[in-house]
């Protein structure tokens, strides 16, 4: 039988390993100079990258658990040291989730959110934590996934289907996958008839379908993924739907 202190250590390790990161992965942060680091220093943080058209949204938080020291400057760079974006004092966000995690509001003003244009495949995130100096980590940029509309069909007088295909398979998860086109959304979907995971078929009502414009931006996303799994969809033009060949039908009754 393990002594009580060994058993406690095992329980503590198991609890820590089972804890889910808040809003993204928790990378290893390394000191990079300009500060005083002690044996009590414990810097932790989350960085999440989200594809946003041709830009990259980099959001997260960082704190020192021991001293509750928060960042006063966060810089995003490429691996060659080129600065791509920053957040300075006055631009940080309050993170209620971080406050709850550590049990004090002293940790809350630790969030950052930066939009990076023309992002490289790897981003270097640097954070200045007061007297603790500079800390940094590297994260992979989120890939921009794209899906093509391969079929528009009016299956009945009151229903339509939109079929989209991606070079990257749509993941099988215990969560709803949603098509969002402008203000219209549908979570009624299925994979292709042959089970191909590269194809999703969404069902819409006639009214939903006719409310779509080719100018509307369209995405497919996992509703529970915090926007990390997003496919940009090519323009959807209801006038090209199979089954409704007459323009007046597409436009609907006057």
Q: Is 118 found in the same domain as 172?
A: no
Mean pLDDT for 12-24 is: 32
Phi, psi angle pair for 18, to nearest 5°: -85, -10
CATH number for the domain harbouring residue 224:
2.60.40
Determine, yes or no, domain membership for 16: no
Q: Is 59 found in the same domain as 37?
A: yes
Phi, psi angle pair for 207, to nearest 5°: -65, -40
Determine, yes or no, domain membership for 2: no
pLDDT per position as a tens digit, 166-181: 887 888 877 789 999 9
**Of the candidates 144, 148, 143, 213, which has an alpha carbon nearest to the alpha carbon of residue 184?**
213
pLDDT of residue 104: 97
How far is the C-alpha of 83 from the C-alpha of 198, rounded, in Å? 37
Asked if 204 and 186 count as a contact pair (C-beta separation under 8 A), the reply is: yes
Q: Is 156 found in the same domain as 136?
A: no
Asked if 137 and 29 count as a contact pair (C-beta separation under 8 A), the reply is: yes
pLDDT of residue 22: 35
Domain finish residue from 120, 140, 160: 140
Query: If 0-12 CB within 10 Å is exposed, 13-18 middle and 19+ buried, where does residue 207 land?
Result: exposed
Query: If 0-12 CB within 10 Å is exposed, 13-18 middle and 19+ buried, where does residue 170 land?
Result: buried
How far is the C-alpha of 65 from the C-alpha of 110, rounded, in Å? 12
| Kind plus residue range of the DSSP H or E element containing 228 | none
Q: Is 162 found in the same domain as 94?
A: no
| Residue 84: domain span | 23-140
**Of the candidates 207, 200, 210, 205, which has an alpha carbon nearest to the alpha carbon of residue 160?**
205
pLDDT of residue 53: 66
Residues 6 or more apart whose CB falls under 8 angstroms from that of 24 comprise 46, 47, 48, 59, 60, 226, 228
Instruction: Tell me the two tokens of residue 149.
Output: 């509309």
Answer whether residue 102 shows pLDDT above 70. yes
Domain finish residue from 140, 174, 203: 140
Residues 6 or more apart whose CB falls under 8 angstroms from that of 166 comprise 145, 146, 147, 148, 198, 199, 220, 231
Determine, yes or no, domain membership for 12: no
pLDDT per position as a tens digit, 217-244: 899 987 765 555 788 899 999 988 877 6
Answer with the residue of higher pLDDT: 83 or 141: 83
| Beta-sheet strand order (sheet of 134-140) | 30-33, 134-140, 122-128, 73-77, 83-88
Determine, yes or no, domain membership for 11: no
Domain finish residue from 107, 140, 173: 140
The DSSP-derived string for 142-191 is PP-EEEEEEEEEEEETTEEEEEEEESSPPP--SS-EEEEETTEEE--EEE
Number of structural domains, the chain?
Answer: 2
Answer whether residue 191 shows pLDDT above 80. yes
Determine, yes or no, domain membership for 117: yes
């Amino acid at each position: 039988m393990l002594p009580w202190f060994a058993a406690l250590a095992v329980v503590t390790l198991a609890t820590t390993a089972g804890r889910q990161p808040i809003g993204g992965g928790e990378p290893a942060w390394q000191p990079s100079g300009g500060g005083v680091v002690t044996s009590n220093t414990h810097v932790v943080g989350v960085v999440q990258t989200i594809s946003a058209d041709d830009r990259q949204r980099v959001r997260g938080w960082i704190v020192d658990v021991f001293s509750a020291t928060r960042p006063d400057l966060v810089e995003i760079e490429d691996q060659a040291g080129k600065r791509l974006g920053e957040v300075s004092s006055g631009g940080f966000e309050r993170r209620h989730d971080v406050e709850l995690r550590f049990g004090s509001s002293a940790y809350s003003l630790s969030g950052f959110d930066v939009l990076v244009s023309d992002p490289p495949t790897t981003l270097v995130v640097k954070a200045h934590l007061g007297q603790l100096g500079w800390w940094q980590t590297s994260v992979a940029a989120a890939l921009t996934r794209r899906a093509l509309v391969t079929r528009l069909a009016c299956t009945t007088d009151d229903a339509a289907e939109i079929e989209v295909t991606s070079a990257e398979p749509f993941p099988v998860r215990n969560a709803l996958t949603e098509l969002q086109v402008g203000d219209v959304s549908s979570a009624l979907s299925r994979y292709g008839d042959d089970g191909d995971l590269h194809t999703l078929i969404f069902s819409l009502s006639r009214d939903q379908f006719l409310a779509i414009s080719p100018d509307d931006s369209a995405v497919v996303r996992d509703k529970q993924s915090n926007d990390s799994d997003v496919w940009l969809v090519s323009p959807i033009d209801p006038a090209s739907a199979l089954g409704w060949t007459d323009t007046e039908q597409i436009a609907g009754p006057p």
